[in-house]
Amino acid sequence: MSRDAGDPPPVRARAWTRARLAWRRAVRGWPIKLGAAVVAILLWWVAATDPGQTTQRSVLVPLEVQGLAADVVAVGLPARVEVVVAGPSGRMDRLRADDLDVVLDLSDANGEFARRLEARAPTAVRVERVVPAEVIGRLEAVRSRRFAVVPYVRPDADARPVVSTTLEPDEVTVHARDPVLARVASVIAPVPAATDGPVEVALVPVDEAGRAVEEARVAPARATVTVVHGAPTFEANVPVEAFATDVPWTIEALEPAAVRLSGPRATLEELESVAGVVAVPTEALRPGRYDLPVRLMLPDGVTAREPVFATVVVPEPDPPGASP
């Protein structure tokens, strides 16, 4: 079918015409538009990486106390304080607690004291504030007492017994305030499991319940512990066969009837029973029942984990003139 000159163009032709017009408008002046986009990206990058941009940061810093005599301690001070600093963002990202110092000089303090805290920061970093800004405390005398070091060897996974331990030094001095020193019951040297030979460990002052007394200071703070383990041990329950010779009484029962032994595996596996001798009292026993200890005859390297007792019965003596 032919199309008259006055008829409108088909739909596909109109869509194609609009697309061409839109593309011409988009590419018109494209160098200017591309340059504007590049400038915007550059400005954003410069702003984001500008080393002069200032940021704030909060850091926990240990409080260092100076100017105290060896026999004096400051009480009531925080272990760490908060320091708020500001500086270039690049420098702040690399800032560590070791880069800041908060020093409290108590060389002129006597008894109770109140001091403002000041922090020192590296170049290009500004201290905004310290929290707390002021500390209040008091000075107390430090006492000393000598303690013997007690080795604590953690159990070996192979059940090896500890044959011996030696300590160097075997005595130390504990320094603390009177109320703290009174809580210290002993000083232990915790030795890791499976340790053979010498090992250097940190000494820990503990109370009667075995809890560490944090405020007490041990001098010297470390000791060398030499541990010697024996061969691995195992456990087994073995029946007891007790006897007594040249006595006028009989064995009625054993308690326990099977004793718990520890020693090398091969030796325990070969034991079907263990013999025991009832200890004979030095004085004659009157008629009745008695519980007497049993001395076990054990192989080398085997030990009993519990005592054994025998219940013996002493009979009434035969009346005079009775026929045998």
**Residue-by-residue pLDDT tens, the chain, 324 positions:** 455 555 555 556 666 677 666 666 666 666 776 777 777 787 776 655 555 577 888 999 999 999 988 788 888 899 999 999 998 888 888 888 889 999 999 988 888 999 999 999 998 899 999 999 999 999 988 899 999 999 998 877 666 778 889 999 999 999 998 889 999 999 999 998 878 889 999 999 999 999 999 889 999 999 999 998 877 778 899 999 998 877 888 899 999 999 999 888 888 999 999 999 998 887 778 889 999 999 999 998 888 999 999 999 988 876 665 555
Contacts of residue 276, defined as CB under 8 A and 6 or more positions apart, other chains included, come to: 240, 241, 242, 243, 294, 295, 296, 297, 308, 310
What is the count of structural domains for the chain?
A: 3
Residue 219 in any domain: the answer is yes
* pLDDT value of position 264: 83
pLDDT in tens, 20-45: 666 666 666 667 767 777 777 877 76
Residue 46 in any domain: the answer is no
Q: Are residues 246 and 303 in the same domain?
A: yes
Separation between Cα atoms, residue 254 and residue 312, nearest integer Å: 9
Residue 42 in any domain: the answer is no
Looking at the DSSP bridge assignments, the partners of residue 228 are 164
Q: Are residues 147 and 219 in the same domain?
A: yes
Retrieve residue 271's tokens: 């034991």
Q: Are residues 201 and 244 in the same domain?
A: no
Q: Which of 85, 109, 141 is the last residue of a domain?
A: 141
Cis peptide before 220 (omega within 30 of 0): yes
Alpha helices in the chain (DSSP H): 11-27, 30-49, 89-93, 178-181, 265-270
At residue 205, φ and ψ (nearest 5 deg) are -80, 130
Q: Are residues 186 and 129 in the same domain?
A: no
Burial class of residue 311, CB neighbours in 10 A (0-12, 13-18, 19+): middle
Retrieve residue 44's tokens: 């954003």
* pLDDT value of position 40: 78
Q: Are 189 and 149 in contact (CB under 8 A)?
A: yes
* pLDDT value of position 198: 93
CATH number for 285: 2.170.120.40
Residue 41 in any domain: the answer is no
Q: Are residues 132 and 172 in the same domain?
A: no
pLDDT in tens, 66-82: 998 878 888 889 999 99
Q: Are residues 128 and 115 in the same domain?
A: yes
Residue 6 in any domain: the answer is no
* pLDDT value of position 16: 66
* pLDDT value of position 47: 59
Looking at the DSSP bridge assignments, the partners of residue 318 are none
CATH number for 123: 2.170.120.30
Q: Are residues 98 and 158 in the same domain?
A: no
* pLDDT value of position 4: 53
Strand order in the sheet with 217-219: 204-206, 186-191, 143-153, 171-176, 217-219
* pLDDT value of position 286: 85
* pLDDT value of position 284: 78
The pTM (predicted TM-score) of the whole model is: 0.45
* pLDDT value of position 180: 92
Residue whose C-alpha is closest to residue 198's, from 166, 172, 169: 166
Residue 30 in any domain: the answer is no
Q: Are residues 201 and 170 in the same domain?
A: yes
* pLDDT value of position 160: 74
* Local structure of 286: helix, strand or coil: coil
Q: Which of 212, 229, 246 is the last residue of a domain?
A: 229
Residue 9 in any domain: the answer is no
Q: Which of 197, 229, 261 is the last residue of a domain?
A: 229
Separation between Cα atoms, residue 267 and residue 234, nearest integer Å: 10
Domain containing residue 204: 143-229
Contacts of residue 290, defined as CB under 8 A and 6 or more positions apart, other chains included, come to: 311, 312, 314
